[in-house]
Chain A
Amino acid sequence: MRLRRAGSFGVERASRLVRRVAAVGTGFFGVFLAAGSAWAAAPIVNESGTPGGRLTWVQTTLIFVGIPLAAFLLIGFLVYLPSLVRGPRYRPGRPWPGGTVWFGGPPDADDLIARIEQLPPSTSEGGGAGARW
């Protein structure tokens, strides 16, 4: 019973591995296959003596502008990704990202916050202290 379960788990894992390798492999080698067929379609050596066909201006732009630009954008995206996920955070001196929150406030805290200016002034004698930063 135990063995059979372990076995079926193993098969499942193996099949998942095979599928994963196949998926990655198709993507990876597909690029070479596509490149190969493109290579084959073009003349082996052109009139200037360099192998392959002449690059059209579209291809040139894609290779020398598109790829660096894509890499630049990708790296930039990866750099900003953590802060995008985290959302705005407090930094002293920067504008407040906005919002008000009251933990342990009265039940109608949201309404009170909306009309803070209309609250009656405090008459209770208590204490307390403050600080600035």
Chain B
Amino acid sequence: MPGGEGVAMTLPARRGDTSADDAAAHAAVARTILTTRQADLVRQVLAVAREETGLWFSLFIGPLSGDVRKEARRLHAALGERADEAVLIVVEPVERQVEVVTGRTAAQRLDDHAAGLAALSMATAFSGGDLVGGIVTGIRMLAEAAARPPIVRG
């Protein structure tokens, strides 16, 4: 299973340096996926989305083993007390799947239609190899959808 392999591969390196400095280790891993500048951009877009909506936007990028949707919901639950008002975006590059998971409160503001549209838009960008572009557009779309009053769909 390629997903499981990917996770296993990253673990030994991570294990070694997590105790020393979590943030530094996290940044080091982030740099292999995104450049420092791209990571800063993602952080900034997430911060803007949080500010605009009051919801906790979070982004997970990495391989997951098993059913991606199920794993994504597990990660979302791991956000703890924030989970209810959290919007977690999971980008699974091995299975090539993107999932948007909304908590109970967040789901009232961000309906599944809007989440689906953002997910589709992200997937389109990823299929062209534009990881950062897709993420940034997706988060902005989600934030915009969550910031405006819900649309009554007939």
Contacts and interface: CB of A to CB of B under 8 A. Distances in A.
Contacts, number: 189
Contacts of B79: 105-106
Interface string A87-131: 111111001111111111110011111101101111111111111
B112 A129 contact: yes
B141 to A, nearest CB: 12
B115 A133 contact: no
Nearest to B4: A117
Q: A interface, how many residues as a size bin?
A: 35 or more
Interface in B128-154: 128-129, 131
Contact of B22 (A87, A89, A110): A110
A126 B43 CA distance: 24
A126 B76 contact: yes
| Most chain B beta-carbon neighbours within 10 Å: one of A89, A119, A132 | A132
Given A100-B7, A116-B75, A128 B99 contact: yes
B103 A129 contact: no
Q: B interface, how many residues as a size bin?
A: 35 or more
A87 B122 CA distance: 23
Nearest to B119: A131
A112 B122 CA distance: 25
Interface of B: 2, 6-7, 9-11, 14-15, 18, 22, 25-26, 29-35, 39, 42-43, 46, 50, 56-65, 68-80, 82-84, 93-104, 106-107, 110-113, 115-116, 119-120, 122-124, 126-129, 131
28 contacts: A92-B126, A95-B2, A98-B6, A99-B32, A99-B33, A100-B61, A100-B63, A101-B34, A102-B26, A104-B46, A104-B57, A104-B58, A105-B60, A105-B75, A106-B78, A121-B77, A122-B76, A126-B103, A126-B106, A129-B100, A129-B112, A130-B68, A130-B69, A130-B116, A130-B119, A131-B123, A133-B97, A133-B127
